Structure 1
Amino acid sequence: MKITVQRSGGIAGMKRTWTVQPTPPEDTDLWQPLIEACPWDAVPTSGRAAATGQPDRFLYNIRAGQHRATLPEQAVTGPWRDLVETAKAAAEPGPPPDGLPGPFR
């Protein structure tokens, strides 16, 4: 299963993406409870609509296996925050956003 968190928006409008590909079975014990704790079925169909009227806020696109969610920054709380922060911490290193040098990642 692949887990991807993409954050877009903010003042500079830059995108950041964190990707984790857990290796079963040992990583399943960490990731499965995090994924199952998120209320995937309760996510509005359009996270962008929830972010309307709040300029310079981040928008998060979260994918975990077959699950998909788009959430405004203020909705990334509780189990969503746990999943996002764990994915960011465990993510495979990628190129810096928009070609910025390493210290600006």
Structure 2
Amino acid sequence: MKITVERSGGIAALTRVWTVQAVTTSEKSRWQPLVEACPWDAVDDPRQAPDGQPDGQPDRFMYSIRAGQRRATLPETAVTGPWRVLVESTRTAAEESRPGGGEAGFRR
């Protein structure tokens, strides 16, 4: 299973991407519960605030999260609970797997 988190936006408008490949049985056992805990079917239009009005926070980050066949795009304010756990776990694992443990790639 491939898990990718793409964070875009913010004041500098940089996009960062973190990717993890869960190939072995033990890796899949670690990542599957994190993926399953996320409410994939409950994701609303990320451009709308809960009251249905346009989200008035243009300098916030947007997160595009992919895990296998599942996809979700969330504003920074919605990346809480299981979403936060999945995002942070992916980011940490991707950064640890890079030579020198450095930051993941980014683009402008």
Instruction: Give the TM-score taking structure 1 as reference length.
Output: 0.84
1:12-91 map, 5 Å: 12-44=12-44, 46-50=45-49, 52-91=55-94
Structure 1 gap ranges (5+): 100-105
Which consecutive segments of 4 or more residues in structure 1 shift more than 6 A? Answer: none
**In 2, Cα distance between equivalents of 1:13 and 1:31:** 29
For residue 23 of structure 1, report the CA deviation from its aligned partner. Answer: 1.8
Gaps of 5+ in 2: none
Report the 3-state secondary structure (helix = DSSP H, G, I; strand = E; otherwise coil) of the residue aligned with 1:89: helix
TM-score normalised to the size of structure 2? 0.82
1:98–1:66 Cα change, 3 Å = closer
Q: CA deviation at 1:48?
A: 2.7
Among the aligned pairs, what percent are the same residue?
A: 61
Answer whether contact 2:61 2:76 (CA < 8 A) is retained: yes
Say how many residue pairs are matched: 98
